[in-house]
Chains A and B, each alone.
Chain A
Amino acid sequence: MIHALANPVRFLKIARPLTPILLFGGLGLLLFGAWAGLTRTPPDYLQGETVRILYLHVPAAWLGMGGWTSIAIASFAFLVWRHPLANLAARASAVPGAAFAAICLATGSIWGRPTWGTWWQWDGRLTSMLLLFFVYLAYIALARADAQRGGDGRIPALFGLAGTVLLPIIRYSVIWWNTLHQGQSLTLTKSTIDNAILWPLAFTLSGFSLLFGAIVLMRMRALLAAGKVEARMRRMAAA
């Protein structure tokens, strides 16, 4: 299964038609979710209208962590099976993951000012998420330097695996430590967000996730194309 997908030609055959499906499907879900979240839901009993930022904040947090999860899985696959596509998948997930982590931090800060009365506090959840953002930046710099110097991608892959240390810390920070950030509202089976407020989140969450997939596929295709260009230039220079 892994080897069938790992062939670049076969990958492109699937990725080419899949990219627009993910992109436009994601945008559609996202726009509907945003419209519903802005006009079709009641305000919260305490926070009032500021609660609506959750339709952006929660997907951004989920994909900020999801982006690193895919880096970790792809790095693992690359280290074990040594397939270059896994390396590309890890590199392609880094920039969108970092962007979503940044959106999560920014929207959280904007929400925190009216709700908590502060833009920023060094509590466990906020600090660990900020660390994840910095780790993304470090990974992006490392992967780029490795590729430019003709490295085999093993060092960024090891870094991708090591960075996974942050994911459980972010997840459990609000459970294990006293934090200003509230405890988790959503688990797989239940939610402490009332359904009247919750339902558009399903649309923005799936919309952003499809969009993330589309961006990763586009970046992987761009990286593959760049590799091809470089190989051709090298052949031409040698001839």
Chain B
Amino acid sequence: MKAKHQRLMLAGLGLVAVLGASGLALSALQDEAAFFYAPADVAAKAPPTDRAVRLGGMVEAGSIRPQPDGVSIAFVVGDGKARVPVTFSGIAPDLFKEGSGVVAEGRFRADGSFAADNLLAKHDERYMPPELAGKMAAAETLEQ
């Protein structure tokens, strides 16, 4: 009976230690494991310009401008705290549009703007039928 209780204690402690380890890993890797820099991170601390990184945020409404060369676009990625101008030439994914999330792969220039060589659309956690999305958009327009 006593040995059983001892094992229960040991296994319980082991499990707590394992879960604690995963908590530590989550918080310690916070910066390292981030998939992209948010504009606020860029504003807080200048990102490296010498290697390829990713920039993620929302494409600001009304910011997508086609460039004179015909294949490039320029737009602004924001997260409500800071904004970063981005240029990109190539084929953007279907879900890339103003007001939705994007992850751009590329490099920061010395002036703080971002030169993207690939765009990934970031989907958010909301799923709804088109009629409903239409209604929500209409409601938002009415509020303005």
Task: Name A residues whose Cβ lies closer than 8 Å to a Cβ of B.
Answer: 41-47, 51, 54, 72, 76, 79-82, 114-118, 121-124, 158, 161-162, 164-169, 172-173, 176-180, 182-185, 192-194, 196-198
Task: State A114–B141 Cα separation when bound (angstroms).
Answer: 29
Whether B132 pairs with A196 at a CB distance below 8 angstroms is: yes
With A45-B133, A47-B95, A194-B132 already in contact, the answer to whether A115 and B127 are too (CB < 8 A) is no
Residue from B7, B33, B124, B127 in contact with A177 in the complex, judged by beta carbons closer than 8 Å: B33
CB contacts (< 8 Å) of B22 on chain A: these are: 164-169
With A124-B33, A178-B38 already in contact, the answer to whether A196 and B129 are too (CB < 8 A) is yes
> Looking at the complex, which of B8-16, B59-67, B109-117 is the stretch in contact with chain A?
B8-16
Whether A176 pairs with B35 at a CB distance below 8 angstroms is: no
**What's the least CB distance linking B97 to chain A, in Å?**
9
CB contacts (< 8 Å) of B94 on chain A: these are: 114, 117
CB contacts (< 8 Å) of B121 on chain A: these are: 115-117
Residue from A118, A121, A192 in contact with B127 in the complex, judged by beta carbons closer than 8 Å: A192
With A116-B93, A165-B25, A177-B35 already in contact, the answer to whether A182 and B11 are too (CB < 8 A) is no
Whether A80 pairs with B11 at a CB distance below 8 angstroms is: yes
Task: State A183–B56 Cα separation when bound (angstroms).
Answer: 14
CB contacts (< 8 Å) of A51 on chain B: these are: 127
Whether A197 pairs with B127 at a CB distance below 8 angstroms is: yes
Whether A81 pairs with B25 at a CB distance below 8 angstroms is: no
CB contacts (< 8 Å) of B133 on chain A: these are: 45-46
B77 interfacial by beta-carbon distance below 8 Å: no
Task: State A84–B94 Cα separation when bound (angstroms).
Answer: 54
Residue from B25, B34, B103, B124 in contact with A169 in the complex, judged by beta carbons closer than 8 Å: B25
**What's the least CB distance linking A236 to chain B, in Å?**
35
Task: State A183–B27 Cα separation when bound (angstroms).
Answer: 17
Pair count A-B, CB < 8 A: 144
Whether A54 pairs with B19 at a CB distance below 8 angstroms is: no
**What's the least CB distance linking A189 to chain B, in Å?**
15
**What's the least CB distance linking B75 to chain A, in Å?**
16
Whether A194 pairs with B120 at a CB distance below 8 angstroms is: no
CB contacts (< 8 Å) of A180 on chain B: these are: 35-36, 56, 103, 120, 122
CB contacts (< 8 Å) of A193 on chain B: these are: 125-128
Whether B26 pairs with A168 at a CB distance below 8 angstroms is: yes
Task: State A122–B105 Cα separation when bound (angstroms).
Answer: 13
CB contacts (< 8 Å) of A43 on chain B: these are: 129-130
With A42-B129, A123-B35, A194-B129 already in contact, the answer to whether A165 and B21 are too (CB < 8 A) is yes
**What's the least CB distance linking B130 to chain A, in Å?**
4
With A161-B14, A182-B124, A194-B127 already in contact, the answer to whether A177 and B29 are too (CB < 8 A) is yes
CB contacts (< 8 Å) of B21 on chain A: these are: 165
**Within residues 37 to 54 of chain B, which ones have a CB less than 8 A from any CB in chain A?**
37-38
CB contacts (< 8 Å) of B82 on chain A: these are: none
Whether A76 pairs with B11 at a CB distance below 8 angstroms is: yes
Whose C-beta in chain B lies nearest to the C-beta of A194?
B128
Whether B11 pairs with A46 at a CB distance below 8 angstroms is: no
CB contacts (< 8 Å) of B127 on chain A: these are: 44, 47, 51, 54, 185, 192-194, 197-198
Whose C-beta in chain B lies nearest to the C-beta of A125?
B35
Whose C-beta in chain B lies nearest to the C-beta of A124?
B33
Whose C-beta in chain B lies nearest to the C-beta of A184?
B125
